[in-house]
Amino acid sequence: MPDQNGGSASAGSWLFGAVFGRGSSSGTPVADDGAWLRSMLAVEAALARAVERAGLAPRGAGAAVTTAAAADFGPSELAELGRAAALTGNPVPGLARVLARRVSEPAARAAVHAGATSQDIMDTAAMLLARDALGAAITDLTAAAGAAARLAGTHRRTLMIGRTLLQQAVPVTFGLVAAGWLSGLDSAVEWLAFVRDTRLAVQFGGAAGTLASLGADGVRVRALLAEELGLADAALPWHTERLRVIDIAAVSARACATLSKIARDVTLLAQTEVGEVKGNPVAAVAILGCTRQAPGLLATLVACAEQENQRAAGAWHAEWQPYSHLLELAVSAAAWSRDLLAALDVDTARMAANLAEAGGLPLAEGITALLRAPLGAAHAHDLVTNAAAKSATSGVPFLDALLATPEIENTLTRAGISHARVEAALDPAGYLGSAEAFITAALDAHERLVPG
């Protein structure tokens, strides 16, 4: 049951909420029962004001309903909402009844829920929830991106082993790793902002999407309602056209995907045996705990888009919990990511030691490139691979294993390739390709997205 402030008093609000529902930077949950109640009341109050502005309710009706909607609901009223929801299949009829009872002027009560159906109130409330949730996620992801940008700039030339298929590969820089994180974060922010700014629209269609109860005034009331709430005025009601819900869910899941990659990288780099970064392991683990749930929730919401005729029988109801949970998880993961990247400690000495311990083997690709012209790509690859295997099994330095291979030594001599040039090819700092340019590109793109 909700508490007196409209928040959920279930175990999830205090037992798991600190992990999966950290809420906005203000600490207010973004999509719990309390947030839904506040948003539905905001819609009902805005509708009353819109009806009054349209001349369909007496002067002062909008203010009277707004005042009634602003007061806290007591335990008995909240219990009544719960009982009514069980009878009607959604909480809005009970909410409208309680709200009307709170309005002292009988003439003003007619402005409560005027022309609306339950879905109008809940769908529009869902848009308000999304606006707050996406805004909170954008704030924290922007902070996380700033931290990633600082890491990328600071560690442009910090060498480390690259890893593909969880095996050591050619060297990279930690700056390039952080630039990859930055690019994903910036993209997540950009898409969240796009949906927040362009895809959130008021829902107001009445029983079957015609607003018949308002006659010729329906379209004007809807436009005024959109204005009151600061939402877009959609061309027509979207009761069974659920792409707005899917868009919100998709960008939320997209942000979770970005954060899961970062958190997984950090958990791998922070392993005791690797030790290349140090940070709060709880933050990375909590991000993964949030983001692993996102794909299933998105899939449920996409499945719910198949809705019958003018109003759905069950599919709409099935949206409420996964929609709420996905918004909460995206916001929570974003908050954890801000903390994770802001406090991440990069152990450059350990990165250098791990790279040195590899004994030059990650640079085998560069040696193969030296021998490709005189030997052909396939034969050069085979010779270098054999030398690398000997180095790995015997402990002989890779350079020595190369030079102890007669065909390689003879080929180097015939091609005029000096031992110094071979040694230079085994210098990881000289085999970074376009890493520096990629880092610069990511930082430049970030500056354009977030000036200053």
The more confident residue out of 19 and 150 is 150
Mean pLDDT of 395-413: 90
Q: What local confidence, expressed as pLDDT, does residue 162 receive?
A: 96
Confidence of residue 13 (pLDDT cuts 50, 70, 90): low
Can you read off the two tokens belonging to residue 145? 């991106």
CB contact at 8 A, 390 and 370: no
Confidence of residue 280 (pLDDT cuts 50, 70, 90): confident
Q: For residue 95, give the nearest of 30, 135, 17, 43 by alpha carbon.
A: 43
The more confident residue out of 27 and 36 is 36
Is the predicted pLDDT of residue 12 greater than 50, yes or no?
no
CATH of domain 11-351: 1.20.200.10
Q: For residue 234, give the nearest of 211, 187, 201 by alpha carbon.
A: 201
Percentage of residues in the chain with pLDDT exceeding 90? 85
Confidence of residue 24 (pLDDT cuts 50, 70, 90): low
Q: Which of 34-38, 265-269, 317-321, 362-366 is least confident?
A: 362-366
Is the predicted pLDDT of residue 420 greater than 60, yes or no?
yes
Whole-structure pTM value:
0.92
Bridge partners of 411? none
Instruction: Tell me the average pLDDT of the chain.
Output: 93
Q: Which of 54-58, 161-165, 273-277, 359-363 is least confident?
A: 359-363
Q: For residue 249, give the nearest of 349, 198, 322 by alpha carbon.
A: 322
Q: What local confidence, expressed as pLDDT, does residue 8 receive?
A: 39
Confidence of residue 15 (pLDDT cuts 50, 70, 90): confident
Alpha helices in 308-432 (DSSP H): 320-342, 348-357, 364-375, 377-394, 398-403, 406-414, 419-425
CA distance 336 to 356: 33
Q: For residue 290, give the nearest of 316, 258, 244, 243 by alpha carbon.
A: 258
H or E stretch at 169:
strand 167-173
Confidence of residue 165 (pLDDT cuts 50, 70, 90): very high
CA distance 340 to 286: 10
Confidence of residue 130 (pLDDT cuts 50, 70, 90): very high
Confidence of residue 274 (pLDDT cuts 50, 70, 90): very high
Mean pLDDT of 165-190: 97
Q: What local confidence, expressed as pLDDT, does residue 11 receive?
A: 37
Query: To the nearest 10°, the Cα dihedral for 71, 74, 77, 79?
Result: 140
Q: For residue 292, give the nearest of 265, 330, 321 by alpha carbon.
A: 330
The single-letter DSSP state of residue 266 is: H
Q: Which of 11-20, 227-236, 250-259, 302-311 is least confident?
A: 11-20
Is the predicted pLDDT of residue 197 greater than 50, yes or no?
yes
Mean pLDDT of 129-147: 97
Is the predicted pLDDT of residue 80 greater than 50, yes or no?
yes
Tell me the pLDDT tens digit for each residue of 443-452. 999 999 886 5
Mean pLDDT of 9-17: 60
Q: Residues of CATH 1.20.200.10 domain(s) within the chain?
A: 11-351
Mean pLDDT of 364-372: 91
The more confident residue out of 156 and 12 is 156
Q: What local confidence, expressed as pLDDT, does residue 21 receive?
A: 85
Q: What local confidence, expressed as pLDDT, does residue 26 receive?
A: 60
CA distance 260 to 256: 6
Is the predicted pLDDT of residue 298 greater than 70, yes or no?
yes
Q: What local confidence, expressed as pLDDT, does residue 18 receive?
A: 85
CA distance 238 to 232: 13
CA distance 43 to 62: 12
